[in-house]
């Protein structure tokens, strides 16, 4: 385990499969507990944590709220607030607050909203768009061109955080597994190896990002041909 919460892990927080979501959440939670200096994309993680409350069934709400609070206490705080816009972030969290039960969840949410209220000097992103710069680790890119300059309907325009995050690249360990998988799926391979590879693929296709199979070593291409 390294001191980075990858975009791949963050994306799994939005999985339709509860077990994958929970596994990703525990991974993120552990990273925040273990490392004092943690590398992660604050705006993207915040977006995923907020969207957690729109997924069913809902689990581990207190843990998710604690992570939101950690972001707002950490060095990604300003980038996150700038990206969302303070008012919009407060509105989203207030909406979540209305659906929370009393007790620990409400206590954490009070801390979150109090933390935001102490940063009301941070202007909304729409007022400071051309002056905003994200950390170089961010996977988002932002144009300084205003929506009005593009002569499009701003009501139908994509939000800044709706843009697709760039593809993840397999780390050396995952790439080695994919290469072994590819070699086992050859038509001239031993049938036992092929069946073992198919069994591995059933798990890998759930745990790995989809783009792993669409880029070298092109696992999907091997399956199709």
Distance CA 181, CA 138 (A): 31
User: Is 53's pLDDT higher than 60?
Assistant: yes
Distance CA 173, CA 160 (A): 33
- The CATH architecture one would assign to domain 7-142+157-162 is Alpha Horseshoe (1.25)
Distance CA 142, CA 161 (A): 10
Domain ranges of the chain: 7-142+157-162, 172-224
Question: 105-149 pLDDT, tens per residue?
Answer: 888 988 998 888 876 644 444 444 444 444 444 444 444 444 444
Task: Name the burial class of residue 99, with classes exposed (0-12), middle (13-18) and buried (19+) by CB atoms within 10 angstroms of its CB.
Answer: exposed
pTM comes to 0.55
Question: What phi and psi, each to the nearest 5 degrees, are found at residue 193?
Answer: -65, -40
């Amino acid at each position: 385990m390294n001191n980075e919460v990858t975009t791949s892990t963050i994306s799994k927080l939005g999985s339709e499969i509860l077990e994958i979501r929970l596994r990703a959440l525990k991974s993120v939670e552990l990273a925040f507990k273990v490392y004092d200096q943690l590398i992660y994309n604050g705006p993207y993680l915040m977006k995923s944590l907020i969207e957690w409350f729109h997924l069913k069934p809902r689990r581990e709400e207190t843990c998710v709220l604690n992570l939101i609070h950690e972001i707002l206490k950490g060095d990604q705080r300003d980038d996150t607030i700038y990206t969302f816009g303070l008012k919009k972030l407060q509105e989203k969290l207030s909406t979540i607050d209305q659906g929370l039960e009393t007790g620990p969840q409400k206590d954490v949410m009070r801390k979150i909203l109090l933390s935001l209220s102490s940063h009301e000097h941070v202007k909304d992103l729409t007022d400071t768009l051309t002056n905003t710069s994200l950390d170089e680790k961010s996977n988002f890119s932002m144009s300084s061109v205003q929506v009005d300059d593009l002569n499009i309907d701003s009501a139908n325009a994509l939000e800044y955080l709706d843009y697709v995050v760039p593809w993840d690249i397999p780390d050396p360990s995952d790439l080695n597994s994919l290469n072994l998988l590819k070699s086992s799926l050859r038509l001239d391979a031993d049938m036992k190896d092929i069946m073992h590879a198919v069994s591995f693929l059933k798990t890998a296709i759930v745990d790995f990002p989809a783009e792993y199979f669409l880029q070298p070593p092109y696992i999907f291409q091997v399956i199709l041909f």
